[in-house]
Structure formats: structure tokens, C-alpha cells
A and B are shown apart, each in its own frame.
Chain A
Amino acid sequence: MTQAIEVTELNKYYGSYHALRDVDFAVAERERVVICGPSGSGKSTLIRCLNRLERHDSGAIRIRGIELGDDLRNIEEVRREAGMVFQHFNLFPHLSVLENCALPQILSRRTPRKEAEARARDYLDRVRILDQAAKFPGQLSGGQQQRAAIARALCMEPKIMLFDEPTSALDPEMISEVLETMVTLAEGGMTMVVVTHEMGFARRVADRVVYMEAGQIVETAPPDRFFDAPQDERSRRFLSKLVAV
């Protein structure tokens, strides 16, 4: 069976800074993986390599069997397979929420407008902000914006969802509504890779937790074992600094 994501011996440099060091990483279909680690550990770089927002320097990335390299067609195909949710939402501020969800379908899959808008409404309803569809992103709360961004990514009907610190830019009272949306998505069987500091979410949803530090994967374990009996000295130190899970 092919893995949803297969990363082997991945290396990435920013100038002389070695951001990812020989990273091996795999995610099975329908698996939920949470990546955590201190800032600068390379977790965001890794997830951004998975849909080629960052170019890797050596190693191989296969997304559902598609080799990610310089071939533009493969890059476009991978981006259709993998949706991404950003820390700062990155909604298009000049478009209404509905248009944010409809236009990308029209532009990248040539979906007819009627169909695109119907699908946009459907997903906005699923993240429970259909009543905000006519508003512009600037008129929504942070939590609503992030849910709209999730709907926008889902409208492309991806097989994999990548979350890059989806709740880090939110006010505390808005974090739970976004996490609820993500839990619902996980329950629906979506393959998910989530970079996050929300350890409660990791415990509840993740099949595996990946701990990164200094550009390397230090430890991979099911959440219960990772939180209750971390094997590596570095993950123990990281967990001890967190507020009780």
C-alpha cells in the first residue's frame, strides 16, 4: 500500500543554516500526525516542503505516489492533493468569504461558477459560518477567519490536509472553535499533518506525535506514550516546560 506521504533523507538549507537534517517521515492514508517541537526546530519548514512552498535541497518527497521535484505539473498535482491551513489564515482580503472559497476552485480546477459556489456554501456550512458568507475576511473574528480558511482548503477536495500552527495566532477564546472543526475533520477520516502546540488536541486526535528539534526528528510515538513516557532526553525536557497537559 502506498503511503499518503513519504519523505526520505530530506535536507534543507537557508543559506548556510541547516534547517532540515536527513529527515525520514511517513504518513499512512487516514492517519493523523501531530508535529511538535520548539520554535526553529524545522517543523514548519518540513510541512511547507510537503506542498513545495519551500524547495528542498536533497532527499525525496512523495505525496500519494507523486514525486515532488522541479516538475511543475507534479507540483500542481500535489497541491491539488494536499490542502494547507496557515497560521495567519491568509484569506484573500479583497474577496468575500464565499468568493474566497469559490474562486480558487474556478481558477485551479476550472470548476463552473455555480458548482463552485454550491460547494463553497456546503463547506462553509460544515464549519458553521455560512451566515458570514457575504462578509469580507476583515469583518470576521480570528476564529471565524481560520474556519473560513479551512473551508477554502476543503473546497479543493484534498486527500491530505496540512495545518501549519493553525491556532497560534488566535485569541485563547477562539482556539477551541477551530480545534473542534479540526476534530470533526479527523473523525471524517481525513489524512492530517498538524504542526501545533495544542497538546490536548494531539492527545485526543493524533495517531502519532512527531517531536522535532534542531532540524531532526527526535522521537515518534503514539500520543499516550509520548506524553506519559517520552523516551528521549530532549522530548522530556520539552514536555517539562509545557503547562500540564
Chain B
Amino acid sequence: MINHRNWVLAVTLLLAGTPYLVLADSDVAQLMADCGDCHALNNPNYTQQSATERKNRKAPPLFYAGNKFNRTWLVAWLQNPERIRPAGYYPPAHILRGADGDSVDTSSLPEHTALSAADAAQTADYLMSLKPFTSLVEAAAYEPGTLSWKMGNLTFGKFNGCDACHRDAPDYGGTSGPELYTAWARLQPGFIASYIADPVAWDPHTLMPGNSLNPEVVKKLADYLKVNGEDFK
């Protein structure tokens, strides 16, 4: 049953270009409006903007959430959101200067709203419908494989320096990027490989360097996140 308030919301979202599903539970419209306060639910055409737009974003864009997340993880996380980015989505906004160097001002990091089980499921259903970058995932043509944890760890750290920004264990690695010890549970395999290979194709102003990795290294890194993630569980 869609009441008057939610019809207005639906029309507003449609006019704004937001893909709006005609859902039986119209409260989802309100949920999406709430998400849209911080997350981009439509493609903002970042290529048409200068790089400085990155500092004005409040939260990660979700307009390609359906190409990025695993639904099971999404439903669980929305009910019990734990911090993925130790220094927030825009780290320079959360840095304290000190005599021994910079540190993260954890008191300035925003908390994510926790949803009920029903709201989390409906929100996840909506987000999983947003798939504008399926062609990028298909182009990556990644088939999960395996490798020794040691070789993967060397590829991740010593050979490519991913640990400068990312943690592959709760107590090791950089803090500016999202932690990656839960990446395999959180992200679709094709997204992982595609984003490692060409992060700029997903987000022109990503803070992740392109790094010109060859396909063999991309596969090793994606496989390492699988092996390491399965170990973490």
C-alpha cells in the first residue's frame, strides 16, 4: 500500500533520476531517501567534475552497489555496521597533527545508522538492483583460484605495497584505505579483480592508485583476498 507521502517521495526520486522500484513496502522509499543524503545513488558523472569534488563526498557512492557487494554481507552489515575505513571515507578530514606525526581523529568519524532486519533486507534488495558497471566486471573475466597464503601475502605487501594503505589483518597495514581482511565476504569476486586492475574506471577520483598492474598480479591479489579472507573467518 503506497500512501500519499510515499507517492510524493517516489515522484521526487523519479524526477531526480533515481531508479525507483515499485515496492510493496513503501517505507523503502524513505530508506532510500535517507541513504541518498550521504551516498550517491545515481551516477554523478565524476569525469565532468574536478578532482576536488572528492573531498566533498560524505560517503562512498552506491550507484554501482549491485556490481560491488555481496547481498548476504550487505544485509548483515546494515544491521550491525562496523567501520570498514579506519580513517573514514575522506581521511584528510580526520587527521590530527602531532609531534611524532599524524594520527586519526577517531572522535570525528561518523557512525553508520543500524537498520532493522526487515529494512536491511529491503535496502539490500534495492541496492543490489543498481548495476551500471556489469561490463567492467565481465571484462575482468576473473575466475577465483588459490595460491599459498605466503605468496599472496608477499604479493600484497612486499611486491606491490598494498599494505601501505590497506589492512589485511586487524592489526597490520595502513589505515587510509578500506580494510581488506573482510573483503572477500563483502565484495563480489569480479568487482575485486576489476577494481584492482583499473580503479579509475569505477571512480575517476578514487584515492586508489591505478598502479599499472599486469593481469597475473591482479589475479594473485584477488586470490590472496580470497585465501586471506577465508582464513580470517
Pairing of A with B: no
Residues of B that sit less than 8 Å from A by CB:
none
